[in-house]
Chains A and B, each alone.
Chain A
Amino acid sequence: DVKVTQSSRYLVKRTGEKVFLECVQDMDHENMFWYRQDPGLGLRLIYFSYDVKMKEKGDIPEGYSVSREKKERFSLILESASTNQTSMYLCASSLSVGTYEQYFGPGTRLTVT
């Protein structure tokens, strides 16, 4: 069964802290994605990676960075968390062939106080 896991379901951090969100997929997918989801705005792409050590900026990369050292793992880093980064963060993965559908993790609800 296809699986994407995220390290935490809920996280509370203070302003200025460095935050790591981890995502792991077990499907040998080339592509991995980080989105944030906010009410009324849908999903907005932060970063994606199409291969190990490769990354591309999405629509809202400011304040975030990513790391992909292994194919199965894609990390999202908030260098200095701010209250406007309070959101639901969703990780996804996909193949580069076929029907390209994305498989999502359960999400991490991050609150920055």
Chain B
Amino acid sequence: GEDVEQSLFLSVREGDSSVINCTYTDSSSTYLYWYKQEPGAGLQLLTYIFSNMDMKQDQRLTVLLNKKDKHLSLRIADTQTGDSAIYFCAEILGSNQFYFGTGTSLTVIP
């Protein structure tokens, strides 16, 4: 669970969809999470998915989980300038061992 990988940067145009990808390492993770960090702030939980699910949708957010490839993605539909932030994926082992990715900085171009 120590090498959770993400691309560092992503730019999209306002109104397009954004897809942020994450590769995690431990197949025994029970939950996987997406967090958002706005400039100068702490991390805020966006959504999570239980490991026995393939997909979860929550308004403009869609999470896809491919357990075979240990791949997690976050799709943001109709991306807005307010979505510009750093997005972290995270996995958990047990009840308190969290591993965060390096974060993807999303820039939304008006």
Using CB atoms and an 8 Å cutoff, list the residues of chain A in contact with chain B.
Answer: 4, 31, 33, 35, 40-43, 45, 48, 50, 59, 90, 92, 94, 96-97, 99-107
Contact = CB atoms under 8 A, between A and B. Distances in A.
Contact of A103 (B2, B30, B45, B95): B45
Interface of B: 2, 4, 6, 8, 30-31, 33, 35, 40-45, 48, 50, 88, 90, 92, 95-96, 98, 100-103
Nearest to B45: A101
B48 A99 contact: yes
Contact of A59 (B2, B6, B48, B50): B2
A78 B42 CA distance: 21
Contact of B88 (A43, A99, A100): A43
19 contacts: A4-B42, A42-B102, A42-B103, A43-B103, A48-B96, A96-B96, A99-B48, A100-B31, A100-B95, A101-B31, A102-B98, A103-B45, A104-B42, A104-B44, A106-B40, A106-B41, A106-B42, A107-B40, A107-B41
Contacts of B2: 59
A42 B101 contact: yes
